[in-house]
């Protein structure tokens, strides 16, 4: 369908106004409130023990979640693309489940499973605390980030086919050699893109994490929970804006990295 010049301009104007009102204005307000007292006040706000602990915990969760999702994502994608087995459709549905289920529901489900009165609550008596501790926060983040690596690697596996892998097997390569030398290099861009998406979602997750976290500063408080705590509990608006700006800066770096990788993948 060919659009007239005036129609194209109108559509672009509407789209730009929508993005401006939805994204640009809130970001500008946050940045203004953050730096209205100077960059020194911002640095002081994000260098408190609570803020440093929240940043370290967020990065620790990312460091745990990403490797687990990489291994699970590759294995699952290979099984779905290369395998034919009963229940394959069910696995596909389970992978997409985090897209459909509210993170709050995920948090409640984890409490019912791992809480003191849950199915696996007996582990607390053995000294292994899941809910209101790091393990519960990691499990919640793993669930909400589960699909990203799988859904980025899966179409790449469809695209490359099985010819090169079959040729390597014919020449005597083992399955591990075939995967390491043929499959992994072929899926590297899809895998990298999935990792970047996983990092971004892990850093910004709030709904599932707040349900399984005690929220105590320095104990189990991520950056997103720090923003919530400062704004709602402490009524520290400036501190909340500062923490949000720090989180936004990390997200921006992740977004830029994702964009660069996407461009490089397109030219490769």
Compute the radius of gyration of the chain from its Cα atoms. Answer: 22
Handedness of CA 71, 74, 77, 81 (dihedral sign): negative
Which is more confident, 255 or 211?
211
How much of the chain exceeds pLDDT 90, in percent? 30
* pLDDT given at position 2: 65
Question: How many CB atoms are located within 10 Å of the residue 28 CB?
Answer: 11
User: Which CATH number among 3.30.300.30, 3.40.50.1370, 1.10.3720.10, 3.40.50.1980 corresponds to the domain 47-265?
Assistant: 1.10.3720.10
Contact 57, 217 (CB under 8 A): no
pLDDT tens digit string along 223-262? 999 999 998 888 899 999 999 999 888 888 887 877 777 6
Cα 43 vs. chain centroid, distance in angstroms? 26
What is the rounded (10 degree) CA torsion for 73, 77, 79, 80?
130
CA–CA gap between residue 211 and residue 207 (Å, rounded): 7
Asked if 222 contacts 57 with a C-beta cutoff of 8 angstroms, the reply is yes
Mean pLDDT of all residues belonging to the chain: 86
| Helices first, then strands: H and E counts in the chain | 14, 0
pLDDT at 252: 84
């Amino acid at each position: 369908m060919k659009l007239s010049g005036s129609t194209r301009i109108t559509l672009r104007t509407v789209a730009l106004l929508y993005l401006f009102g939805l994204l640009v204005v809130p970001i500008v307000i946050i940045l203004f409130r953050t730096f209205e007292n100077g960059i020194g006040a911002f640095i002081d706000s994000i260098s408190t023990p609570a803020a440093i602990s929240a940043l370290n915990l967020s990065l620790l969760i990312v460091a745990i979640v990403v490797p687990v999702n990489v291994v699970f994502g590759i294995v699952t994608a290979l099984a779905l693309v290369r395998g034919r087995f009963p229940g394959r459709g069910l696995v596909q549905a389970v992978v997409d489940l985090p897209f459909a289920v509210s993170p709050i529901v995920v948090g409640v489900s984890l409490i019912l499973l791992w809480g003191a009165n849950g199915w696996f609550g007996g582990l607390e008596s053995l000294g292994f605390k899941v809910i209101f501790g790091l393990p519960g926060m990691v499990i919640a983040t793993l669930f909400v980030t589960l699909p990203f690596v799988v859904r980025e690697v899966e179409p790449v596996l469809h695209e490359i086919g099985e010819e090169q892998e079959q040729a390597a097997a014919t020449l005597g390569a083992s399955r591990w050699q075939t995967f390491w030398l043929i499959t992994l290099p072929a899926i590297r861009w899809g895998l990298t893109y999935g990792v970047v998406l996983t990092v971004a979602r892990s850093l910004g997750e709030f709904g599932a994490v707040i349900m399984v976290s005690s929220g105590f500063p320095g104990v189990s408080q991520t950056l997103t929970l720090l923003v919530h705590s400062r704004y709602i509990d402490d009524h520290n608006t400036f501190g909340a804006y500062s923490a949000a700006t720090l989180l936004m800066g990390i997200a921006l770096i992740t977004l830029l990295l994702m964009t660069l990788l996407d461009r490089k993948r397109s030219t490769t």
